[in-house]
Structure 1
């Protein structure tokens, strides 16, 4: 099996690797102690070039290249003009001991060339609504990892209960799978047309300035382009991929699973688990699709979140739309619950601290599963979804954090109706209206104010016009989760709940 962290990116890379491999003669000279000129051809001293990706609120982006040399490099003469990357903006250049981002580099064999995530060419996740292509500079930085610098049509009855049997197979559909949300004229249950695309991570760069070794040897500028021959996906590479065949529904689910570092089944420590369910734009893409579409899955597995709360993170990849406006789910709905139950048997999971979250279709699944399986989840984080209000009474007994944008008409009206029912059952609902362009500090204050209401159900809505970046073609619906999963305080609240 080919290691997906390292691959040859097209025929152009083969020629590049041949160039990278021309260092043998010089290396032999150095090893034998022969005199080496003060200035030597730079290209022959490059061992590899690794593309580094990071997931943001609007998807995965290529944000750096790590160039490996044959000896340690000093940072004294490096600058943003030392390298040129085709179609990209270089923002920072420094040496390092490994192919990793760093706040301050250290002399080492690698030179890290950081790139602007706002470049159009940075986007590796692209949907038909434009997600992953527009700058989000007015929103808080949505990094999930440490920053180096800071369907066939089902019945039209909306009253179908999630407790009803879902064993029947869906019928054929002519739906286009646009990646739109259920409720917005989007794909129907059973539709398997992908609404998003994963772009291969690769870059071509040229050393346009002098690179100096710690021994004083200068590698001068070169006109030879170097194409990345490896990929390092921050956080995404920490997940493992599996399949689960559900004995009850006979359906097979591909899924991604993050297992906490140092996990040992023989120890008695138990761990929480977070289930993330994606939206319709991620249907039937690669298994890793839920990890690269945005922060919904990977944020819980970030080093910062894991330092606070070690947890398993589960992200299924659905091969077809599971739920639409008919609220009659496909068998994958129950298969998801059965997968969670199966994992509690396989790993040391705390059954009182299993959590559900999802966006759009995944938010609808979160609400429906919470109703049908009331003893499964200790809390749920619902982002831009809805469910029939006449089925919402059981939610009054659950712990929920709901986030929606006021200009997301379907989801906003749906969540208003749900929270009204919850209040009518005598359950307190904390409410607040937030600015989707708030800074990280402002969002932290917003979360503290919400938590101060001490309600089991929290409902935050973003002001109209504050979640869609200027000039973006992304809908308010999709932009909601590009912001919602950047707010760590909500995740902290979720992880502190239990059955």
Structure 2
């Protein structure tokens, strides 16, 4: 009788565990790529540890999405290697047509961070209990924006211009006020100016977050600053809004607030942001250690003061404004003493091919490096253009993924002779 009682209790305990485990907490994962923010995964949190060796891609089905990998972890994070734990990670294909939250192809429109899935096959816990398949649809109650969540949002009220500027700031995770850190200023294009959310500066492309990724920070620990502009700050007619001065004043403020290496300030931007970088360079040629200018242009008649600056330029030869515009600028810089190295690349290069191409240009030891992306190799093959401008917009989906250019940027310092 006692044995029967114990057996019943054991069965009840297992049953309770199975029922509880059938209701995991569901969190959607988003990541930012060159063409914007996408939903790329799901984290399922169970009340007990799961045996990862018995999970397969067929264990789950995610509505209208392609599963790339399924594994377990003992922390709520994506990982390269599976560890038994109460977290099941489902990685989804970012190339899925409906993966986009906010992307280049749908600028100005946000999609919901929602995911739906079902458990198709058995799940085994590390205690050898079984979570049975279920037709119940699971949806996420939360979401995580990888890397984006590591930035903080602030407002700067400029006492000099009287203007207010929202900005995103990445502070190194192991920040030590007794050390000096470089700072990267990223300025976005004019596309997101109609949107008020400060975080848009981080998700419209990867020009900011690429510098804050764990891999990049492991090599180049740095602050990353990404202001959010709600109007055009500069335009093709040479107009300059006072918020450009506010941005420079924000830099001064941050230099006083944190331990920032003033010999290693870097600026970069795409389109409007690149134009802002140009203006800052010829107005204050001694401010930045180096600049990365992407798909931009300016009046070549005023850029002479930046002829000695360290600059890397990337444009598409199919960009009807930026390509001739940067040709004119580099000609002016050369006439005023700049040494220019040129490189002609394909936008379809692999990371290894880009690294090799950058190294070839670096051999010339020029202070201005001008790399062009061949027309017809910039716009992804699966993109159907609905309007002109693809050669312009898709330049920066490539430019910020070139690791060796980022390495070049961080290697520059004003203290170097």
TM-score by length of 2: 0.93
**Correspondences of 1:71-470 after superposition (within 5 Å):** 71-127=48-104, 130=105, 196-265=108-177, 267=178, 269-283=179-193, 284-470=195-381
Paired with 1:199 and 1:243, the residues of 2 have a C-alpha distance of 26
Contact 2:27–2:141 (Cα < 8 Å) also in 1: yes
Alignment counterpart, residue 488 of structure 1, candidates 399, 403, 407? 403
Name structure 2 gaps, 5 residues minimum.
1-5
**Would you tell me which structure has more helix in proportion to its own residues?**
2
What is the CA deviation profile of residues 326-345 of structure 1, one whole-angstrom value per residue up to 9, with x for unaligned ones?
11111111111111111111
Q: Secondary structure at the match of 1:443?
A: helix
Q: What's the CA shift for 1:473?
A: 3.6
The DSSP-based 3-state class of the residue aligned with 2:68 is strand
Q: Partners of 1:398 and 1:43 in 2: how far apart?
A: 62
Give the match's secondary structure for 1:223.
strand
The alpha-carbon deviation at position 37 of structure 1 amounts to: 4.5
What is the alpha-carbon distance in structure 1 between the residues aligned to residue 212 and residue 182 of structure 2? 12
Contact 1:40–1:220 (8 Å) recurs in 2 = no
C-alpha separation in 1, matches of 2:359 and 2:112:
40
TM-score scaled by length of structure 1? 0.78
* Contact 2:73-2:88 at 8 Å conserved across structures: yes
The Cα of 1:320 is off from its aligned counterpart by 1.0
Counterpart Cα distance in 2 of 1:37 and 1:319: 56
The 1:457–1:282 alpha-carbon spacing in structure 2 relative to 1, beyond 3 Å, is same
Counterpart pick for 1:46 among 15, 23, 30: 23
Give the Cα separation in 1 of the matches to 2:351 and 2:287.
32
Question: 1:41: Cα distance to partner?
Answer: 5.1
Q: Report the counterpart of residue 3 of structure 2 in structure 1.
A: none
Structure 1 or 2: more strand by fraction? 2
Q: Cα deviations across residues 439-464 of structure 1 (Å, max 9, x unaligned)?
A: 11111111111111110110000011
Change (3 A) 1:42 1:101: farther
| CA–CA separation in structure 1 for the residues paired with 2:384 and 2:70 | 32
Please state how far the C-alpha of 1:38 moved relative to its aligned partner. 7.4
The Cα shift of 1:213 comes to: 0.5
For 1:458 and 1:443, how far apart are their aligned partners in 2? Answer: 14
- Indicate the SS of the match to 1:225: strand
Deviation at 1:75, TM superposition (A): 1.9
Find the aligned partners of 1:464 and 1:124 in 2 and give their Cα distance: 28
Q: Which whole-Å CA distance do the structure 2 matches of 1:241 and 1:226 have between them?
A: 32
Asked if 2 retains the 8 angstrom alpha-carbon contact of 1:46 and 1:67, the reply is no
Mapped contact 1:95–1:105 kept (Cα < 8 A): yes
Distance 2:111 2:291 in 1: 31
Q: Which secondary structure state, in structure 2, belongs to the residue aligned with residue 76 of structure 1? A: helix
| Contact in 2 for aligned 1:50/1:99 (Cα 8 Å) | no
Partner of 1:479: 394
Question: After the TM superposition, which of the residue ranges 195-204 and 427-436 deviates more from structure 2?
Answer: 195-204
Deviations 1:201-253 (A, max 9, x none): 22111111111101111111101111111212111111000000111211110
Q: Is the 8 A contact 2:313 2:370 kept in 1?
A: yes
